[in-house]
Structure 1
Amino acid sequence: MTDVAVDQNDPAGLLPSAEEKPEELTEEKIQENEPEDSTEKKNQENEPEAAEGQAAAGDVYRYIKEDLFTSEIYKVEIQNLPKYIGFNDLKKFLNKHGINPHKIKLLGRQKFAFVTFKNQEERDKAMKAVHGMQWKSNVLSVRLAKPKADPILKKRKQEEEADSGQPGAERNTGSQEAEKEEEEPPSIQIANAVTPLWKVPYEEQLMMKEKEVEGVLQKLAREIGNNNKAMLPWLFVQKEKHNKMCCPLEAIRPSPLQTGYRNKCEFVIGVGADGEDRTVGFRLGKYKGGSCAVVSPSETTNVCSEAKRVVQCFQQFIRTTPYAVYSPETYEGHWRQLTVRTTRLKQTMAMVFFNPQKLQEKELEELKQNLGQYFTEGEGKECAVTSLYFVRMGQRTSAGTEDLPCEHVTGEEWIHEELLGLKFRISPHSFFQTNTPAAEILYSAVGEWAQLDQDSTVLDVCCGTGTIGISLAKRVKKVIGIELCQEAVKDAEANAKANGLTNVEFHCGKAEDVFPTILNAVVSPNVTAIVDPPRAGLHSKVILAIRKAEHLKRLVYVACNAKAAMNNFIDLCRAPSNRVRGAAFRPVKAMAVDLFPQTMHCETILLFERVDYSTNTDV
């Protein structure tokens, strides 16, 4: 599984929020937004006009007047969009007419979208081109959109008005609920946010997760029926046998550890809930909710003791420095994030994220030297950090960004782990499952379901450091891994060599670009694909390539979010068409594996097999 998406590193919801100002991107590309209701539009009706006329907007719009880029300044609203269009449809339509948006937010049910641009010229060009244009049977209209208020300043202003007794300043239900939450100790609030099931007995947690996966399989059964009529006789039998599900669901596999299981944690740095400056831990709430307070992870049950010790020592260090914490409200300050990775071999990697602002190189070098000395010779020595990195973050870079270069400060360049009797090295940005004992259960199940032999070729898509493919290599003729992160590919190649494997090869690139070519070149009587993609699932091009390659008969899909991967499942099973070539797959069996105790998340394995209409086995 790749580390591209932050969410994919954090299926348990443990990471600090990367949210900045409203309508702001954390990377230079358009991101699809989930459909929303009309709340945003209604709220914006009461806000001042955008762009040039912001002087009178008040402090809650201060952020758009700073000398920093924000897409809120150049935002338009496109109205009267055709029914049933999706994000990709709108993006292609705009690109076709020479319009390059920075971000698109499509509110499908209301038939309008917010589109932002990088500058006034591009915004004005889009308004002139799109306004009055006909798309299908609809005539589009465009107008300037209104910016969102800064959540922190808006909340502060509401509280000030409420305290002063100004008319109409009564606190809303959300504020009242927030006040109730604030009555609880911060440690309890963090536990509720990070590990929401911490009070639920573990057996009950497993039942809840199994029920969730059962619902996914029932929905998939309905979708298969809607999209592939030829499968209806088989589907009817499956639903009768398996409680309306499209396939049998095996009993959930529990995690060997229920506490302290996470081997990777990302901690934000900010002002503590107690007002103590330079606190390292988890945010009490999201920026868009009006909160930046940070609470120590000392009582968070899924964080291991080694990581907690590093947090405590690092917090002591930064409090001795003259550098302030970074503020997402003002974009000032330096300390931003601490990432800690640990292994069962008692190795620990720490990555310090720092915003240099206008500091001189000499100051930064001195800071890195002091940091290294602290963890090797000073009070931080007790943490036994075996690998220390320093990461420079830009003014607008979100925490957790995976493409930032890491500067090695001290110790080894990698940490090492053992999994299923094999050795693996792990680089700073490489993906490795966050719960190692449970990952062993997951990968063992994948190996059983893949039905491999010495003539098999395994395609390991989104392979990370190569854990799945390497664990299966001795059973098969060849393993081919595909991974986007270059660091992870280098790790995977080193891991194959360290384990004495010569039948494994890895390719770096986007799965949608690399996979079709590799798949077409494979000549083998038994080709099996194992995919372990980020939370959003595989790119549609990968699914189309899988469908088209008739010699690929079996697919094991590992989903960290089965609901988000639903479109992939549907496309694998839908009837052949001009777009989707090749015989359909059908789900054979499924199982949940709990890698994230105390949360609602789990991994789901689905085995798909190609439908063979030349036999009667499809019914």
Structure 2
Amino acid sequence: MADSSSSTVSEAAPPKECDATDFTDDVSGTSDPSMYGYIKQDLFTSEIFKVEIQNLPRFIGFNDMKKFLAKHGLNPHKVKLFSRFAFVTFKNEEDRDKAMKMVHGMQWKGHVLSVRLAKPKADPIQRKRKQEEGEGAGGQPPSKRAEGEEEEELSVQIANVVTPLWNVPYEEQLKRKEQEAVAVLQRLAKEIGSTNKAMMPWLFDMKGKHNKMCCPLETIRPSPTQTNYRNKCEFLVSMGADGEDKTVGFRLGKYKGGSCAVVGPADACHVSAEAKKVAHEFQKFIRSTPYTVYSPETYEGHWKQLTVRTTRTKQAMAMAFFNPQKLEETELDVLKSSMKKYFTDGEGKDSGITSFYFVREGQRQSPNAEDLPCELVVGDGCIYEELLGLKFRISPHSFFQVNTAGAEVLYSAVGEWAQLDQDSTVLDVCCGTGTIGISLAKRVKKVIGIELCQAAVEDAKVNTKLNGLTNVEFHCGKAEDVFPNIVSALVSPNITAIVDPPRAGLHSKVILAIRRAEHLKRLIYVACNAKAAMNNFIDLCRAPSNRVHGAPFRPVRAMAVDMFPQTMHFEMVLLFEREGNSQQQSNNQEETVPVCSP
């Protein structure tokens, strides 16, 4: 479900919201005060609530660490584990102090733990600047390139960042993604072997037939379109790599690598012409305003990001993210009025925008985009898309697959594998605007959707009416909270669950509820990052235990669908069936399916 393409450049500055996989300065001893100016700002950063836990037992893993902290009622924001120590950040001082008081002196597997305050991570931009100043003092200045040569290099550089396979033939791209899918299934086979010994005879047979994989892998299904396919793009607003201020585009590198410069999307092969036009007109507009771009170094400035969504129906939604800082409300009203005039009667009237939102992004607000105040400035509140002959409403924060033509391929494959009839009940978990469930509704008795985002649920309910459906219902809430009650209340003999979760996968409580629901025999898992979802796959298949109740599942079919051409990302679909559903498993094994080889 999560948007996996590398084109969505939305990395926040690490000092504001640190990446748990990168705490280089925690161990490098950086001590220059200028490196830590951000922690003195009136901003949210977990870096000021960070501790170091020392003398950890040997051979513990990340999950062991998280379980240990949770067992003692601690709620960390980020965890970075090293060989014998870990850095842990918290959301507030109270949680940090509670952890220090509770963990210090505690015994874990024979080791007495100690806790101390940890130094915050240095600002990567400041760190790079210091390095460059040091190199400049004793080194030669970089040689100047001809203007045309530099422009060409920038277009290649940004292509390598957002579409790294842009110069690889499409057949070769598909081959590489198939090889990635093979590696996932081979690893899953090993994990099943180590977590469920009872499956070894079946697993031995599967590995022998399918190149050491746990199930057959069908030939990858290509995207119908390989260029201009994205219906959603997130453009940053920053200084251009060419020196032009207030540039709308993609970041040339990552903030933690010391880069804030962006390059416009004109040469990006995956961005639609409609989105490029919107970005171009928005850039012209903000350059006409007195407001500067937001700086992740100083947390000053205003313009931050532009999100553009386009549809086959020739509608376009834009969302301008703006930090008001200390501007008066009257100044903001003037800005919004000028924006409305520009895009309705001014130069931007032919931009194609049918819906324009002004989004205030303050200093201490939630990092979740759906929680930000969102004000409609121009046009209609929603846009509409057509998919598989159905109509779908999309509001600003609702999830919708970024490749519409590819989504039709994906959902068609899910429909083929679900083996549904008029007695079937479909559980659509992490359903977004309801696309999967609605596309299957006419073939089944009932569809029940579960989704966290309230706006998406509202869209999903509207979409059922738009398509004349009466057998679909939606529930808003965390899947781990809502799913167990729904599935336990179902008495249908023919239940199929379809899960399309965010990149990190399903919460473990959902997996445990699926395992307990013995009447749930079939599960189709749509993973936008199969490696991240691996723990889900393993828990579905592992042997029953005190923690995991219910008969395990087996993977019986798998397939990759290319939703993100020009990148290494793809969607992976796995069909799991409950062990003991022998007749159905036998039928599946007898089916002739094209099996890919690496």
Relative to the length of structure 1, the TM-score reads: 0.89
298-307 vs 153-162, which moves further: 153-162
Distance 1:218 1:90 in 2: 27
CA RMSD of aligned residues (A): 2.4
Q: Report the Cα offset of residue 538 of structure 1.
A: 0.6
Q: CA 1:371–1:523 in structure 2 vs 1: closer, same or farther (change >3 Å)?
A: same
Q: CA 1:90–1:224 in structure 2 vs 1: closer, same or farther (change >3 Å)?
A: closer
Alpha carbons 1:18, 1:399 under 8 Å: kept:
no
Distance 1:448 1:92 in 2: 39
Distance 2:416 2:65 in 1: 43
Q: Report the Cα offset of residue 118 of structure 1.
A: 5.3
Q: Report the Cα offset of residue 75 of structure 1.
A: 2.5
- Pick aligned residue for 2:11 from 15, 18, 30: 18
Distance 1:436 1:87 in 2: 36
Q: What one-letter code is carried by the residue in structure 2 that aligns with 1:291? A: S
Q: What one-letter code is carried by the residue in structure 2 that aligns with 1:25? A: E
Distance 1:496 1:18 in 2: 35
Match of 2:594 in 1: none
Q: Report the Cα offset of residue 306 of structure 1.
A: 0.2
Q: Does 1:500 align with 2:483?
A: no
Deviations, residues 507-553 of structure 1 (Å, cap 9, x unaligned): 00000000010001111120000000001111111111111111110
Match of 1:395 in 2: 363
Q: CA 1:400–1:345 in structure 2 vs 1: closer, same or farther (change >3 Å)?
A: farther
Distance 1:112 1:341 in 2: 44
Q: CA 1:229–1:117 in structure 2 vs 1: closer, same or farther (change >3 Å)?
A: closer
Q: What one-letter code is carried by the residue in structure 1 that aligns with 2:378? A: T
Q: Does 1:222 align with 2:190?
A: yes
Q: Report the Cα offset of residue 149 of structure 1.
A: 2.0
Deviations, residues 480-533 of structure 1 (Å, cap 9, x unaligned): 000001011011110001111000000000000000100011111200000000
Structure 2 unaligned segments of length 5 or more: list them.
143-148, 590-598
Q: Does 1:369 align with 2:334?
A: no
- Pick aligned residue for 2:303 from 303, 315, 335: 335
Q: What one-letter code is carried by the residue in structure 1 that aligns with 2:531? A: K
Alpha carbons 1:104, 1:113 under 8 Å: kept:
no
- In the TM superposition, 1:268-283 aligns within 5 A as 268-283=236-251
Q: CA 1:462–1:78 in structure 2 vs 1: closer, same or farther (change >3 Å)?
A: same
Distance 2:308 2:122 in 1: 34
Alpha carbons 1:19, 1:286 under 8 Å: kept:
no
Deviations, residues 68-126 of structure 1 (Å, cap 9, x unaligned): 4533334221101124445555455446656554x332314x12111234566664554
Match of 2:595 in 1: none
- In the TM superposition, 1:439-458 aligns within 5 A as 439-458=407-426
Q: Does 1:351 align with 2:341?
A: no
Q: CA 1:215–1:93 in structure 2 vs 1: closer, same or farther (change >3 Å)?
A: closer
Match of 2:444 in 1: 476
- Pick aligned residue for 1:111 from 84, 99, 121: 84
For these two proteins, the number of residue pairs brought into alignment is 581
Q: Does 1:138 align with 2:121?
A: no
What fraction of aligned residue pairs are identical, expressed as a percent? 72
Q: What one-letter code is carried by the residue in structure 1 that aligns with 2:79? A: K
Q: CA 1:121–1:453 in structure 2 vs 1: closer, same or farther (change >3 Å)?
A: closer
SS of the aligned residue for 2:522 comes to strand
SS of the aligned residue for 1:149 comes to coil
Match of 1:435 in 2: 403
Q: Report the Cα offset of residue 39 of structure 1.
A: 5.6
Match of 1:52 in 2: none
Alpha carbons 1:281, 1:295 under 8 Å: kept:
yes
Match of 2:596 in 1: none
- Pick aligned residue for 2:213 from 245, 264, 271: 245
Q: What one-letter code is carried by the residue in structure 2 that aligns with 1:564? A: A
Alpha carbons 2:391, 2:463 under 8 Å: kept:
yes
Distance 2:128 2:566 in 1: 31
Match of 2:551 in 1: 583
Q: Report the Cα offset of residue 165 of structure 1.
A: 1.1
Distance 2:185 2:347 in 1: 52
Deviations, residues 541-588 of structure 1 (Å, cap 9, x unaligned): 111111111111001111111111111111111111111111111011
- Pick aligned residue for 2:57 from 82, 98, 112: 82
Q: Report the Cα offset of residue 41 of structure 1.
A: 4.9
Q: Does 1:262 align with 2:230?
A: yes
Structure 1 unaligned segments of length 5 or more: list them.
2-7, 49-56, 172-180
Match of 1:153 in 2: 126
- In the TM superposition, 1:1-150 aligns within 5 A as 1=1, 8-9=2-3, 11-22=4-15, 24-25=16-17, 33-34=20-21, 41-43=26-28, 46-48=29-31, 57-87=32-62, 89-91=64-66, 93-94=68-69, 101=76, 103-108=77-82, 110-117=83-90, 123=96, 126-150=99-123
Alpha carbons 1:17, 1:287 under 8 Å: kept:
no
Distance 1:487 1:302 in 2: 27
Q: Does 1:202 align with 2:170?
A: yes
Q: Report the Cα offset of residue 130 of structure 1.
A: 2.9
Match of 2:375 in 1: 407
Deviations, residues 405-449 of structure 1 (Å, cap 9, x unaligned): 311112111100111101111000001110111110110110010
Q: Does 1:231 align with 2:199?
A: yes
Match of 2:567 in 1: 599
Alpha carbons 1:21, 1:329 under 8 Å: kept:
no
Q: CA 1:145–1:538 in structure 2 vs 1: closer, same or farther (change >3 Å)?
A: same
- In the TM superposition, 1:544-559 aligns within 5 A as 544-559=512-527
Match of 1:162 in 2: 135
Alpha carbons 1:18, 1:400 under 8 Å: kept:
no
Distance 1:617 1:371 in 2: 59
- In the TM superposition, 1:530-549 aligns within 5 A as 530-549=498-517
Alpha carbons 2:184, 2:530 under 8 Å: kept:
yes
Distance 1:350 1:378 in 2: 17
Q: CA 1:248–1:97 in structure 2 vs 1: closer, same or farther (change >3 Å)?
A: closer
Q: CA 1:94–1:551 in structure 2 vs 1: closer, same or farther (change >3 Å)?
A: closer
